[in-house]
């Protein structure tokens, strides 16, 4: 069935975005949580921009960036023979940018809450900064990592505007659930639209329910 | 510079506070860093460990220079071989006691055959705590685990930041023997930050007095305790004298311990934790010492020591004078009213008797 591939594609996109953002977002969040640099508010503002920008603006700039005449787009065409626009890879890149604050902000706040006391203790016990991060900071911020990953995943599942701009509606390539719902409504196929919408509705509720209930636990645990 | 010294030259400004220290300490023994709160004691330790930015200075432990602003040496904290035990212990909450100890042991051990971990577990009586969650430890146990953990990094220099400050009297007594053992068993220099003079007298070989970021006095424990009345900012540092003797006998019936000072005997409330023949230090407050011109009879006071007046000083308050007494194997100070000094016509060189109540040592 067509819609099954939309669901699968959405999950693949969300998973890829979450994994890439874990790798990019963690050092960025750590830097923001520990830096005394004056550039911090600039970077914080840039990171938070996807929260307020209309997805169309972001999608528009992404399209320009993906154009084979541009640096990134040209490089990609040379390297792979394919264009970034209207491809799954392009969708992942756009999602990474669009969901960045959902990964960085919870992580930054987890790192700030932990403070530097345990990192100092680890250093005094001869742990190098990377060693201390992996063996002390990461396990102590585990809840932050879980929250950030879930929010990133869920936010990617729910995105629409950027996907429409950058990816279009190619089955198996860029046709994610939200696009499928849009098309089903356009073509008055309400039964399919209902089916997919209920899935997203239930998914969103349970994700948020999980995030709020684990956060409450952690508050009780800390206090 | 000698290989056997600890060079600490630090000049730093942190949030408006200035610390300026330039001392060379012997490479061994316990140096108490003593001073009122806010005097820069903890900042000094943090600077040595590499956690407070030093603007200018030279820090060298033996032949190893870990910081030198003139040659741009600033060894990162984890490579300094300096063990800092934090006042708040900072045990890792995601690891149990064994996990915390193993964390340090793994990074501190130079060879795999080295068995310091078992040795430390035994010395610090940690066998029963190993599987315990750190959240389930008492205050005293936390300090014990934290000290053991720090030692497992095999530090070349041990920094203890008020290890007993968070504990009540009973818990302090529980930890002190471990601290004494540490200074005896591990032949590394220890810097011990505290504002408790009793801890200083018990553990320290020398004292560095810090006030407002400056060293105001440095010397052997006896020298400093015997000479200092007030801290420079006026905080009371009770006039006292430190005397050193040996445990002679324990009298279980009367619950007293006899301490031998030369040929004289001192009787104190029983403390069987100190073995016969072991050296002890007693800090005798000037206000607990009285003077008699002849040996008194029919007196409740148990400790009567022949003494010679070596000096008479005005006290901090106009009504009082402090009389320095030379006794066998040391000195005492007595805080008397000036009226008493006049009435008894006390003069330097007089042979008198110093009276010290045993109850003064109740702690």
Q: What is the pLDDT of residue A72?
A: 87
Contact B82 A135 (CB under 8 A): no
Going by their DSSP bridges, the two strands B73-74 and B56-61 should be labelled as unpaired
CA distance B170 to B162: 16
pLDDT at B237 over 70: no
pLDDT at B230 over 60: no
Residue ranges of the alpha helices (H) in B35-96? 41-49
User: Which band of pLDDT confidence, cut at 50, 70 and 90, is reported for residue A218?
Assistant: very low
Residues of A in Cβ contact (< 8 Å) with B49:
124
Where are the extended beta strands (E) located within chain B? 5-14, 17-26, 30-34, 56-61, 64-68, 73-74, 82-85, 157-161, 190-194, 206-211, 214-220, 240-251, 256-261, 264-269, 279-285, 289-292, 303-314, 320-327, 330-337, 351-356
Residues of A in Cβ contact (< 8 Å) with B86:
117, 120-121, 124
Q: How many CB pairs under 8 A join A and B?
A: 61
Residue ranges of the alpha helices (H) in A35-128? 40-52, 55-66, 71-80, 88-114, 117-124
Question: Measured at the alpha carbon of residue B142, what is the angle toward residues B141 and B145, in degrees to the nearest 5?
Answer: 85
Per cent of chain A over pLDDT 70 is: 95
Residues of B in Cβ contact (< 8 Å) with A125:
78, 103-104, 107-108, 149-150, 153
Average pLDDT score over residue span B112-138: 88
Of B55 and A212, the structure prediction assigns the larger pLDDT to: B55
Average pLDDT score over residue span B68-75: 92
Token representation of residue A141:
């911020």
To the nearest whole angstrom, how far is the Cα of B194 from the nearest Cα of chain A? 20
Nearest chain B residue to A125, by CA:
B104
Tell me which of A117, A119, A120, A121 to substitute to probe the interface with B (most B C-beta atoms closer than 10 Å). Answer: A121
CA distance A79 to A94: 19
Q: From the list B88, B90, B108, which residue is nearest A126 (CB)?
A: B108
Residue-wise pLDDT for A62-110, tens only, equals 999 998 888 888 888 888 888 888 889 999 999 999 999 999 999 999 9
Spatial CB neighbours of B41, under 8 Å, sequence gap ≥ 6: B33, B34, B35, B161, B162, B193, B195, B210
Interface of A with B (CB under 8 A): 117-118, 120-129, 131-132, 135-136, 139-140
Average pLDDT score over residue span B39-61: 93
Tell me which of B52, B101, B104 to substitute to probe the interface with A (most A C-beta atoms closer than 10 Å). Answer: B104
Average pLDDT score over residue span B223-230: 72
CA distance B182 to B188: 9
CA distance B163 to B157: 16
Mean pLDDT rounded to a whole number for chain A: 89
Residue B29's Cα: distance from chain center in Å?
A: 11
Q: What is the pLDDT of residue A69?
A: 87
To the nearest whole angstrom, how far is the Cα of B311 from the nearest Cα of chain A? 48
CB–CB of B215/B301 below 8 Å? no
Spatial CB neighbours of B117, under 8 Å, sequence gap ≥ 6: B101, B102, B105, B109, B152
For the ranges A214-223, B159-168, B176-185, which has the lowest average pLDDT?
A: A214-223
CA distance B126 to B147: 11
User: Which band of pLDDT confidence, cut at 50, 70 and 90, is reported for residue A2?
Assistant: low
Which residue has tokens 């640099």? A37
Mean pLDDT rounded to a whole number for chain B: 86
pLDDT at B1 over 70: no
* CB-neighbour burial class of residue B164 (10 A; exposed 0-12, middle 13-18, buried 19+): buried
Contact A117 B108 (CB under 8 A): no
Average pLDDT score over residue span B321-345: 88
CA distance B54 to B267: 49
pLDDT at A220 over 80: no
Which residue has tokens 């030279």? B58
To the nearest whole angstrom, how far is the Cα of B213 from the nearest Cα of chain A? 23
Nearest chain B residue to A127, by CA:
B78
What phi, psi does A176 have (nearest 5°)? -90, 175
* B14 strand-pairing partners: B17
pLDDT at A217 over 70: no
For the ranges A133-147, B114-128, B261-275, B319-333, which has the lowest average pLDDT?
A: B261-275
Nearest Cα to B171, choosing from B134, B142, B128?
A: B142
For the ranges A216-220, B270-274, B327-331, which has the lowest average pLDDT?
A: A216-220
Dihedral sign for Cα atoms in the order A159, A164, A166, A171: positive
Contact A123 B150 (CB under 8 A): no
The terminus-to-terminus CA distance of chain B in angstroms comes to 43
Q: What is the pLDDT of residue B228?
A: 67
For the ranges A113-117, B45-49, B178-182, B225-229, which has the lowest average pLDDT?
A: B225-229
Residues of A in Cβ contact (< 8 Å) with B84:
124
Spatial CB neighbours of A122, under 8 Å, sequence gap ≥ 6: A131, A132, A135, A136, B78, B92, B103
pLDDT at B141 over 80: yes
B221–chain A Cβ distance below 8 A for any pair: no
Tell me which of B43, B49, B52, B77 to substitute to probe the interface with A (most A C-beta atoms closer than 10 Å). Answer: B77
Of B12 and B282, the structure prediction assigns the larger pLDDT to: B12
pLDDT at A37 over 60: yes
CA distance B113 to B101: 17
pLDDT at B118 over 80: yes
Q: From the list A120, A127, A129, which residue is nearest B107 (CB)?
A: A127
Average pLDDT score over residue span B85-97: 94
pLDDT at B249 over 70: yes
Residues of A in Cβ contact (< 8 Å) with B150:
124-125
CA distance A223 to A50: 33
To the nearest whole angstrom, how far is the Cα of A18 from the nearest Cα of chain B? 25
User: Which band of pLDDT confidence, cut at 50, 70 and 90, is reported for residue B232?
Assistant: very low
* B99 strand-pairing partners: none
CA distance B269 to B362: 7
């Amino acid at each position: 069935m067509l819609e099954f591939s939309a669901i699968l594609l959405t999950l693949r996109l969300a998973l890829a975005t979450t994994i890439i953002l874990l790798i990019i977002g963690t050092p960025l969040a750590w830097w923001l949580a520990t830096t005394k640099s004056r550039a911090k508010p600039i970077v914080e503002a840039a990171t938070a921009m996807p929260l307020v920008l209309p997805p169309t603006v972001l999608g528009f700039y992404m399209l320009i960036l993906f154009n084979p005449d541009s640096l990134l787009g040209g490089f990609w065409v040379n390297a792979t023979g394919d264009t970034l626009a209207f491809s799954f890879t392009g969708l992942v890149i756009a999602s990474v940018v669009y969901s960045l604050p959902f990964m960085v902000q919870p992580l930054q706040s987890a790192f700030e809450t932990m403070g530097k006391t345990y990192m100092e203790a680890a250093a005094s016990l001869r742990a190098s900064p990377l060693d201390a991060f992996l063996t002390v900071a990461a396990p102590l911020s585990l809840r932050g990592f879980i929250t950030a990953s879930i929010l990133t995943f869920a936010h990617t599942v729910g995105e629409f505007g950027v996907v429409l701009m950058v990816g279009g509606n190619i089955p198996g390539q860029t046709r994610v659930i939200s696009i499928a719902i849009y098309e089903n409504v356009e073509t008055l196929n309400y039964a399919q639209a209902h089916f997919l919408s209920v899935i997203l509705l239930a998914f969103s509720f349970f994700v948020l329910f999980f995030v709020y209930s684990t956060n409450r636990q952690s508050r009780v645990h800390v206090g | 510079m000698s290989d056997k010294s600890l060079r600490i030259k630090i000049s730093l400004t942190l949030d408006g506070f200035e610390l300026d220290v330039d001392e060379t300490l012997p490479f061994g023994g316990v140096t108490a860093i003593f001073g009122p709160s806010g005097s820069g004691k903890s900042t000094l330790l943090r600077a040595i460990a590499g956690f407070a930015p030093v603007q200018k200075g030279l820090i060298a432990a033996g032949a190893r220079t870990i910081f030198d602003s003139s040659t741009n040496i600033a060894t990162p904290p984890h490579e300094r071989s300096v063990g800092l035990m934090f006042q708040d212990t900072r045990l890792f909450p995601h690891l149990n006691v064994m996990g915390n100890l193993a964390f340090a042991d793994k990074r501190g051990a130079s060879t795999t055959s080295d068995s310091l971990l078992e040795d430390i577990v035994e010395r610090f009586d940690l066998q029963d705590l190993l599987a315990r969650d750190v959240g389930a430890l008492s205050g005293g146990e936390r300090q014990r685990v934290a000290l053991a953990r720090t030692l497992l990094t095999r530090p070349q220099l041990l920094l203890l930041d008020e290890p007993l400050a968070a504990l009540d009297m009973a818990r302090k007594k529980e930890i002190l023997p471990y601290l004494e053992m540490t200074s005896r068993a591990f032949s590394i220099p220890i810097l011990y930050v505290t504002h408790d003079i009793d801890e200083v007298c018990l553990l320290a070989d020398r004292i560095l007095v810090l006030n407002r970021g400056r060293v105001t006095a440095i010397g052997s424990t006896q020298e400093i305790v015997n000479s200092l009345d007030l801290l420079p900012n006026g905080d009371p540092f009770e006039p006292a004298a430190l005397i050193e003797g040996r445990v002679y006998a324990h009298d279980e019936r009367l619950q007293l311990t006899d301490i031998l000072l030369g040929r004289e005997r001192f009787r104190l409330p029983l403390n069987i934790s100190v073995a016969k023949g072991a050296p002890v230090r007693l800090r005798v407050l000037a206000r607990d010492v009285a003077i008699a011109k002849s040996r008194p009879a029919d007196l409740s006071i148990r400790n009567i020591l022949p003494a010679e007046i070596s000096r008479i000083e005005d006290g901090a308050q106009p009504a009082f004078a402090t009389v320095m007494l030379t006794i066998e194997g040391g000195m005492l100070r007595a805080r008397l009213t000036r009226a008493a000094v006049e009435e008894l016509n006390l003069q330097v060189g007089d042979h008198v008797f110093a009276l010290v109540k045993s109850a003064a040592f109740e702690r």
